[in-house]
Chains A and B, each alone.
Chain A
Amino acid sequence: MRDASHWSIFLNAALINNFVLAYFLGICPFFGVSSKLETAVRMGGAVSFVMLVASVCAYAINLLLDFVDAPFLRIISYIMVISSTVQLVEMLMKKLSPVTFRAMGIYLPLITTNCAILGLALFQTNRGYNFTQSVVYSLGAGVGFALALVLMAGVREKLDLNDVPELVKGTAAALVVAGILSMGFMGFAGLGR
């Protein structure tokens, strides 16, 4: 994977192996915040941002852990460092740019220890990406997540207007929609090789 081009890494993370629809990462926010289009867009932005931060952090921590030869500390240190960095950025953002904070600030604490974030950090480590590859990978994953969330929100807004049986309402209907979306995304397989 080391020699993979940046473009193919991006496409791979955003479409072919979409984090939500192919890896099932970040399912909770995917179902939780996908009922309105506007919130979905903001949430997507916030997740992309945290993914970028997490990717940079994870790269640095991995260098350090390799240096001291302690791979068994990986999980614990990833979680700790990523969540505290995000908290720090959140405070900075509140101070420097209240407008952006209001747009996506409330979602930040929700997603700091989301499995999509930790999953991204672990995948990029397992695949041995270098620094630029990691950043591109995190951007792709963020775009893919936002795309899935927005598509889902669009479908669910329409679904609300329809007459759905009581039994299927809520999570069950959302799951079926997600399954169909996931089938659609399988069509991207083989792209960008």
Chain B
Amino acid sequence: MASKEVTPTDEFVKGLWRDNPVFVQVLGMCPALAVSNTAMNALAMGLATTFVLLMSGLSVSLLRNFIPREARIVSYICIIATFVTSVDYLIMAISLELHRALGAFIALIVVNCLILGRAEAFASKNKPARALLDGLGMGVGFTFALLFIGVVREILGSGAIFGVSIFPDSFQTWTVMVLPSGGFFAMALWLLIVNRIKLREIQAEKKVQGAVL
């Protein structure tokens, strides 16, 4: 993936759309569904994951020549767990309320396959600057995906966005969207939209190729 012609901007942008971790690679689904019941929780979770992605990507990339191949997964997990623990304590220091809302899911960032996946597939083979860019792109893509799901669930489920009510009182809230099953439905909805766009892109490409032939 990291051939010479890949520009730094590409490294960043690919996480946003082409290789979006949640909608395209379908990685890190557990937190994406579990803490996206309000937009605020989704944003906090996304930022925490981005931080861990950035720091672990940087560390893995810096240490890539020192980590023996046989022990690499264990070392990556150690590095990731260290940063997750610090994020856990950081969030506790910033807002106890938020920490309670996110619960054990901050600690569970450590087993988010997205982070280990990027460490293994990208950071271990690239220079620190590129690993940082890749981590940032993936993190922002993940945050946006979470935010999209969270916004849909909060608007439909409690008629509000970031806690601010946007509908008149007569609006009947769809309680199911705040409940666990709403997470599945909101995620399915976004996947359908993304699939639709991707399918159209492929069809358009085929048409162009057909015209050339």
Which positions in A face B, CB cutoff 8 Å?
21-28, 31, 72-76, 79-80, 83, 113-115, 118-119, 122-123, 126, 166-168, 171-172, 175-176, 178-180, 182-183, 186
Contacts and interface: CB of A to CB of B under 8 A. Distances in A.
Interface string B58-100: 0000000000000000100110011011001100000000000
Interface of B: 26-27, 29-31, 33-34, 74, 77-78, 81-82, 84-85, 88-89, 104, 107-108, 110-113, 176, 179-185, 187-188, 191-192, 195-196, 199
Given A24-B34, A167-B199, A178-B184, A79 B108 contact: no
Contact of B191 (A22, A73, A115, A171): A171
Contacts of B78: 76, 80
Instruction: Tell me the dominant secondary structure on chain A's binding face.
Output: helix
Q: Which of B27, B107, B110 has its CB near the most chain A CB atoms (within 10 A)?
A: B107
A182 B181 contact: yes
A172 B192 contact: yes
A28 B29 contact: yes
Nearest to A32: B26
Contacts of B113: 28
B189 to A, nearest CB: 9
8 contacts: A24-B33, A28-B30, A28-B113, A79-B111, A80-B77, A115-B111, A180-B181, A183-B181
Contact of A179 (B27, B81, B84, B181): B181
